[in-house]
Amino acid sequence: MTRAAADPAILIHGAWQGAWVWDRLIPLLARNCGIVPVAVDLPGNGKDAVKPANVSLDMYVAHVGGVLKRLGRRASLVAHSGGGIVASAVAERFPEQISRIAYVAGMMLPDGMAFADLVAEAKPDHPDAAGVGPHLVWSHDRLTSRVPIQVALAYFFHDCPTADAALAAQKLTPQPDRGRAIRARLTPKRFGRIPRLYVEAEADRAVIPPLQRRMQALVPGADVVTLPTGHAPHLAAPRLLADVLTPFLTGSEDGPAFATRELKDRKLDARDVEHADGASGSHRRFRGRK
């Protein structure tokens, strides 16, 4: 029997970034079972003429909705960091068109919660929860912020190859705050019915692991894979990320949300595999080639 082609995967970047951040992952997903990746540039990130004052979560959702319309079929979403809030909102708006969501160190927040709320809750026990927040440089009108290169190297790209890290830090652009301080309104009947995978980055300094795990508890039901990387596994270990994304992105709609058998069969050189099946989903930890 011929297996149906995998749904295309829309790749949604996080704050201060752009579609370029997925460049090392895209050919790997395309080679793995013919996934067609479509990386988007969210409005106002420097690739268009959208003014920072006009940026909003609704604008981001409409932009991804336009990509869905052009594709003309159901698609998966892969979202990094703050792009996770956008992915959740897109799934709420277009649930019939979204097959699944993979959050890569992503902000998988519950209905009405902003990332700042999560950080404020965690700071008494985790003073480092603010990540890059205290180091941002703001425009005079406070409409945009930017991440200094040395801060980006320390918090986002510390485990990436040196040349790649330097280039990525230089590519970061000012981020409209109206596209960063956002809250998605979500319902169980729409967003809640979409299968989800959470890719933990256990050496993350921007969205620290306690925050990632708190989001998993607040929005239960996602399967979890833990990778030994910092905040940007798509730059630090793109092959490893592709290997763990592929079974999820190519899973049957009639099967489990996360194809655990395929993951176990992958040649990941897995030295540490943790199983914790339960109501919150399955949890597996992988280490292997980058």
Number of alpha helices (DSSP H) and beta strands (DSSP E) in the chain: 10, 10
pLDDT in tens, 68-116: 999 999 999 999 999 999 999 999 999 999 999 999 999 999 999 999 9
Tokens representing residue 248 in the block: 């999820």
d(CA 142, CA 55): 14
pLDDT for 251: 82
Segment 277-283 mean pLDDT: 49
Asked if residue 247 lies in contact with residue 266, where contact means CB atoms within 8 angstroms, the answer is yes
Place of tokens 């190297």: 153
pLDDT in tens, 106-164: 999 999 999 999 999 999 999 999 999 999 999 999 999 999 999 999 999 999 999 99
Instruction: Please report which confidence band the pLDDT of residue 281 belongs to, taking 50, 70 and 90 as the band edges.
Output: low
pLDDT for 279: 39
d(CA 290, CA 287): 9
Instruction: Name the average pLDDT for the chain.
Output: 88
